[in-house]
Structure 1
């Protein structure tokens, strides 16, 4: 009887213990299974006190240290008497001036002045008159060295004295050249050195051809006006000799050289152009003041108005050499008309004969070791 009672008691406790487990929600089944089940020993003699689990030490995850940015370049204070490099032109000049500022950022002796005006040119002087502006800048003595890059807005008709002429026609070309000559003439009269930068290739073929024709006018005006002309056309072509928006940067790495419009330079392209221009700037500037050749051996002659030889990249010094700057002091400069009717030069003196060389006395520069001893000659005469 006792065994039956014990068995019923065990069954009752088992039912009480198991029934709540079936009533739990499915989401807590896993939690109930993880708890320790009560056994018959626990019912009869009591469960052992459970020790509290040791506290779990939660470690804070380390925050990733952000990559350190390179320290900014120190701002170099420009000297009070720094050479003032002014960049004149259209929107191309605006981008170029920023690139030159980056290039000479650490040079305390040169300061870049951005004088670029977007949408300007030599055609629409009613919008912006560059000849008037350059005269005002010269009068104010606001710069020492001029860089000019312009022309992307000049493929349009020009108005002169109420008359309009289509772009690149003979009348248009004559009027355009007159404005270029006026611009450069003012700079030359003020003895301001000028570096005129030609236009690069453009993405659209027809537009690029027009810009090349305008660049040819710049080249002629620069040579006749005493300016340094920098041709950059081929330096921004692709390997196939055509327009390319990509190319090697100043470090030799392939980079995007032009903007999406196919006209303007990207930052890398402008930096590359600034590097090329810096080589021409060295003709006039070497870390201090500027130097410019002012002597003109053709001044006052009929040849002064003639077009100077196109020795590109050689600067004023080369032009002076070609013009014949080195002449004997004793000879007066000849006029161009005299050179055309000059009489033939007289035959040059033949110099010493072989007999004279052989008879040279010992000790003279032309004796060559076979000269005659003067004392022996005198003794022979006395005998």
Structure 2
């Protein structure tokens, strides 16, 4: 290759490089209008960028692009449903008015006595001859006589109420130190129980000395096993004192334990239905529990009060006698023509002979199909035409 040809080719290459450089510069100038100024290399001038640099600018909070939101559809209105008819609750008939001379049941003691009083009031709601008077102090007992002294307050209540029966339920608050004449007695020492038994006897005598029937209700179990053990020991003392002085002790314990003797919150009510009997504290009573406590006392109360504790009682007062029909009874009517009969008349039981006497002669009778089957072992023929009649039909000759 000649020297002139080499110079020509070199000049062409330089011309091409200069053209590419001018083209890159012009392209960079146009791009600089849209993109910030950046450092460029020779490769950038020769071959350009594969993709433009991103643009950045400060955006305010409300300038960020957000995806288009679709308008929310309003929920379709549900078809109107007819309101269910109101359930008719049976109305409790009003309780009958109490008689002016109704006998009163006085219930005294602590918060358990208040529960028994509520239950008895419900039990004898329909008994016009019985009124329940509750005189209880929830925090009282026979130990803290400085707080409430039942030995002094009970005679006043008896004179005021004039009860036909007294129910006592006390002792749930008595598991504490006692101050007696001999000093302080700590629970549960022997000295403590000796003094406590003396106070129980003294309270019961204030009732029995006035010849008023006494029912001492036992304490029910509670959730705490230790407290239940102490209350069970109290019940044994109450039973001993009440029966010694002519009163009656009613044990409530079995109504609030299961078959193994363990405390239960839920059990059978007076109707045999499973309900909640005790409160969440394991001590207080629900309405069903109160009614169940009274259920154990009802039999004894009705026995002591007699007809006055019967529901639907109609008492005949001398100053307000009932009106009798004006039509006189006529002894000549057919309804009164009943012949008298002695109680010892043998004809009452269908016999007129003594045991061992001769039997009357039996008249002959036609043996029944049963008798024939028993004596001969041959069943009688079935009636003609019945399904079990297997005789061949007779052929007329």
Quickly say closer, same or farther: Cα 1:70–1:224, change in 2 above 3 A.
same
Per the alignment, residue 262 of structure 1 pairs with 282
Residue 306 of structure 2 is aligned to residue 273 of structure 1:
no
Shift of 1:176: 0.9
Residues 127, 308 of structure 2: 8 Å contact kept: no
Structure 1: give runs of 5+ residues left out of the alignment: 1-25, 28-58, 291-383
The superposition leaves residues 306-330 of structure 1 with CA deviations (integer Å, 9 ceiling, x where unpaired) of xxxxxxxxxxxxxxxxxxxxxxxxx
- For these two proteins, the number of residue pairs brought into alignment is 236
Residue 248 of structure 2 is aligned to residue 215 of structure 1:
no
Pairwise mapping of residues 37-48 of structure 1 onto structure 2 (< 5 A)?
none
- Please give the alpha-carbon distance, in whole angstroms, between the structure 1 residues aligned to 2:200 and 2:260: 33
Shift of 1:99: 1.2
- What SS class does the counterpart of residue 304 from structure 2 fall into? coil
The superposition leaves residues 199-239 of structure 1 with CA deviations (integer Å, 9 ceiling, x where unpaired) of 11221111111111111111111111111001121232112
Task: Name which structure has the greater RCO, CA cutoff 8 Å, separation 6+.
Answer: 2
The superposition leaves residues 104-144 of structure 1 with CA deviations (integer Å, 9 ceiling, x where unpaired) of 11110001111111110000111111111111122335322
Residue 117 of structure 2 is aligned to residue 103 of structure 1:
no
Residue 197 of structure 2 is aligned to residue 177 of structure 1:
yes
Pairwise mapping of residues 63-142 of structure 1 onto structure 2 (< 5 A)?
63-142=83-162
State the superposition RMSD in angstroms: 2.4
The superposition leaves residues 252-285 of structure 1 with CA deviations (integer Å, 9 ceiling, x where unpaired) of 1111111122122221111111111101112201
Shift of 1:162: 7.0
Q: Normalising by the residue count of structure 1, what TM-score does the alignment of the two structures yield? A: 0.58
Per the alignment, residue 194 of structure 1 pairs with 214
The superposition leaves residues 144-168 of structure 1 with CA deviations (integer Å, 9 ceiling, x where unpaired) of 2111111110000110137211112
Out of 154, 163, 172, the position equivalent to 2:174 is 154
Residues 85, 111 of structure 1: 8 Å contact kept: yes
Residues 84, 145 of structure 1: 8 Å contact kept: yes
Quickly say closer, same or farther: Cα 1:229–1:63, change in 2 above 3 A.
same
- What SS class does the counterpart of residue 275 from structure 2 fall into? strand
Residue 289 of structure 2 is aligned to residue 236 of structure 1:
no
Residues 100, 112 of structure 1: 8 Å contact kept: yes
Q: Which of these two proteins has the greater Rg computed from alpha carbons?
A: 2
